[in-house]
Amino acid sequence: MQNMELIEMGRVMRKYIRLYIWILVFLSVVTLVVSKVLAEEWSYKDDRSSPEALIESYYYAINHRYYAQAYSYLINPPADFNQWKEGYGDTKSVKVKFGATSPDPGAGQIYWALPVALLAKKTDGKTVVYSGCYVIHMINPGMQGDPPYKHMGIFRVSLKETNQPFEEAVPKLCK
- Judge whether 77 lies within some domain: yes
Domain presence at residue 173: no
Q: For the segment 54-74, what is each residue's pLDDT rounded down to a tens digit?
A: 999 999 999 999 999 999 999
**Is 174 part of a structural domain of the chain?**
no
Query: Quick check: is 117 in a domain?
Result: yes
User: What pLDDT band is residue 167 in, cutting at 50, 70 and 90?
Assistant: very high
Would residue 37 count as lying in a domain? yes
Tell me, yes or no, whether 128 and 91 share the same domain: yes
Q: What does the pLDDT read at residue 33?
A: 62
Judge contact between 104 and 110, C-beta under 8 A.
Answer: yes
> How many folded domains does the chain comprise?
2
Q: Looking at the structure, do residues 1 and 57 belong to the same domain, yes or no?
A: no
Q: For a pLDDT cut of 90, what percent of the chain falls above it? A: 63
> Looking at residue 97, which CATH number applies to its domain?
3.10.450.50
Predicted confidence at residue 13, as pLDDT, reads 75
Same-domain check for residues 64 and 147? yes
Instruction: Give residue 120's pLDDT.
Output: 98
Residues 138 and 97 in one domain: yes
For residues 160 and 102, state if they share a domain. Answer: yes
**66 and 37 share one domain:** no
pTM of the model: 0.76
**pLDDT at residue 170 greater than cutoff 80:** yes
Same domain, yes or no: 62 and 120 = yes
Same domain, 96 and 36: no
What average pLDDT does the segment 160-171 reach? 97
Q: Do the domain assignments include residue 150?
A: yes
- Convert the chain into a string of H (helix), E (strand) and C (coil): CHHHHHHHHHHHHHHHHHHHHHHHHHHHHHHHHHHHHHHHHCCCCCCCCCHHHHHHHHHHHHHCCCHHHHHHCECCCCCCHHHHHHCCCCEEEEEEEECCCCCEEECCEEEEEEEEEEEEEECCCCEEEEEEEEEEEEECHHHCCCCCCCCCEEEEEEEEEECCCHHHCCCCCCC
Same domain, 35 and 72: no
The answer to whether residue 175 is domain-embedded is no
Specify if 154 maps to a domain: yes
> Is-contact 134 96, C-beta < 8 A?
no
**Span 105-112, average pLDDT:** 90
Same structural domain for residues 33 and 57?
Answer: no
Host domain of residue 125 = 51-168
Q: For 114-156, what is each residue's pLDDT tens digit?
A: 999 999 999 999 999 999 999 999 998 888 889 998 999 999 9
- 108 and 84 within one domain: yes
Provide the percentage of residues in the chain whose pLDDT is more than 70. 87
